[in-house]
Amino acid sequence: MSEIALETRPDPLAGTDKSEQGDVRTEEMLVNMGPQHPATHGVLRIVLRTDGELVLEAVPHIGYLHRCAEKIGENLAPYQYIPYTDRMDYLAGMNNNQAFAIAIERLAGVEVPLRAQYIRVMFAELNRIASHLVAFGTYGLDMGAFTPFLYAFREREMILDLFESACGARLTYSYITIGGVTDDLPDRFLEVLDEFMDYFEPKIDEYNQLLSFNQIFVKRTADVGVISAEDAVRWALTGPVLRASGVNWDLRKSTPYEIYDRFDFDIPIGLPGGSEGVPRAVVVGDSWNRHIVKVWEMRQSCRIIRQAMEQMPEGPHIAAKTKNLKLPDDEIYIEIENPRGQLGFYVRGDGTQIPSRVKVRGPSFCNISVLNHIGSGCLLADIPAIVGSIDIVMGECDR
């Protein structure tokens, strides 16, 4: 068998001084991440200006899901607008229903029956858990872990079964409405809910063992996308993103609405590395803290739900009479604590049944604005970790 001789080419720079070779130069490149990309959590487009693996700029572009939600609110009676609020943050429809309903009720002076308020709080906290389960599961997918997604959606399906039994819907509910709720709890609802609570609470420890304290996950998220407390306040961030930076602010405690002042619960905030249950590499305000605050919040929501079940008053009154409700010639602005942060509704009445102005303050819209500030200077692979930790819903950004 004949041998094949390999041609060897001389190195043209061999033997020369490195200083004579010239500087190695890189070229900047614009990378479009989205608007249809699995790590953008919706139709978000992020234009990345990169230098190799280094991100120099990360500019979010929104508007791909704009549906004129505010303008529609100025052409419908409030009870007709409730279904549109579901579709803003479609992972937290109950919370959106609640925010708009409270705004109209306070503007028009509608008194909500006590039983309806307890049902509202119970369902709002169940929806907070369901929303955080999606955030937990999809964040694992962003970091390359598929299994947590299956665990999270297993429990979320049980919550959706409870919602379906009460209102017939699993995603867009329109259950919390002007004056109360659309229907009373079905038979054995509280018994089934109690069984779910007993099943679900131990699962939170399982989630942490599976993902939160996984070494690879910690390395991907610890000290990544750090937002200081000062920056969080300066950028008007709210919700878990704000609290992960160490700011103890939650509207359910700070300015209680509905009956939240009757419940005993804590507000989780971001902790430094080395604290109890926190890996040493973690920094206050980083992506890991934004993840774990949502996990801790699920525990607190369970506490609120259990107290609501114990205190639930009897009676058939689940809605006030709001037929032909007219809005006074006045204005109001109300904020509640959505799973993603402070959700606000500004409503202006003019004496008719239809508002003359509706304006929405969506938490995702404000939270995503900090992306360029914390994304500049990070690595390209860190962008999904940062975006996933902020937990945005584009229906709420665009409206």
Q: Is residue 21 part of a domain?
A: no
Average pLDDT over residues 3-20: 47
| Contact call for residues 57 and 372 (beta carbons, < 8 A) | yes
- The whole-number pLDDT of residue 359 equals 95
Q: Is residue 202 part of a domain?
A: yes
- The whole-number pLDDT of residue 7 equals 43
In order, the DSSP letters of 116-145 are HHHHHHHHHHHHHHHHHHHHHHHHHHHTT-
Token pair 């978000």 in the structure block, residue: 44
Structure tokens at 102: 């409270």
pLDDT band at 276 (very low <50, low <70, confident <90, very high): confident
Per DSSP, 110 falls in state P
pLDDT per residue over 109-137, tens digit each? Answer: 999 999 999 999 999 999 999 999 999 99
CA angle 221, 222, 227 (to 5 degrees): 95
Determine the Cα–Cα distance for residues 317 and 303; give it in Å rounded to an integer: 25
Average pLDDT over residues 36-55: 86
- The whole-number pLDDT of residue 397 equals 87
pLDDT per residue over 56-102, tens digit each? Answer: 999 999 888 888 999 999 999 999 999 999 989 889 999 999 999 99
- The whole-number pLDDT of residue 18 equals 47
Q: Is the pLDDT of residue 26 over 70?
A: yes
Q: Is residue 345 part of a domain?
A: no
Determine the Cα–Cα distance for residues 339 and 295; give it in Å rounded to an integer: 12
Q: Is residue 93 part of a domain?
A: yes
Determine the Cα–Cα distance for residues 86 and 396; give it in Å rounded to an integer: 10
Expressed as residue numbers, the domain containing 159 is 78-326
pLDDT per residue over 229-250, tens digit each? Answer: 999 999 999 999 999 999 999 9
| Order of all β-strands in the sheet with 331-338 | 331-338, 341-348, 357-361
Per DSSP, 345 falls in state E
- Residue 249 falls in which region: left (phi positive, over 0), alpha (psi -120 to 50) or beta: beta
pLDDT per residue over 130-189, tens digit each? Answer: 999 999 999 999 898 999 999 999 999 999 999 999 999 999 999 999 999 999 999 999
Q: Is the pLDDT of residue 310 over 90?
A: yes
- The whole-number pLDDT of residue 154 equals 94
Determine the Cα–Cα distance for residues 174 and 98; give it in Å rounded to an integer: 9
- The whole-number pLDDT of residue 12 equals 46
Q: Is residue 26 part of a domain?
A: no
Determine the Cα–Cα distance for residues 301 and 161; give it in Å rounded to an integer: 18
pLDDT band at 329 (very low <50, low <70, confident <90, very high): very high
Determine the Cα–Cα distance for residues 105 and 291; give it in Å rounded to an integer: 34
- The whole-number pLDDT of residue 4 equals 38
- The whole-number pLDDT of residue 273 equals 86
pTM of the model: 0.90
The beta-carbon contacts of 101-104 under 8 Å, at least 24 apart in sequence, are 101/176, 101/177, 101/178, 101/179, 102/257, 102/258, 102/334, 102/336, 103/332, 103/333, 103/334, 103/345, 103/346, 103/347, 104/78, 104/178, 104/325, 104/327, 104/347
Domain count, the chain: 1
Residue 241 belongs to domain with CATH number:
1.10.645.10
Q: Which of 44-53, 144-153, 312-321, 357-366 has the lowest mean pLDDT?
A: 312-321
Q: Is the pLDDT of residue 17 over 70?
A: no
Determine the Cα–Cα distance for residues 63 and 279; give it in Å rounded to an integer: 38
Q: Is residue 15 part of a domain?
A: no
Q: Is residue 42 part of a domain?
A: no
- How deeply is 5 buried, as exposed, middle or buried, from its count of CB atoms within 10 A (0-12, 13-18, 19+)? exposed
Q: Is residue 395 part of a domain?
A: no
| Contact call for residues 203 and 211 (beta carbons, < 8 A) | no
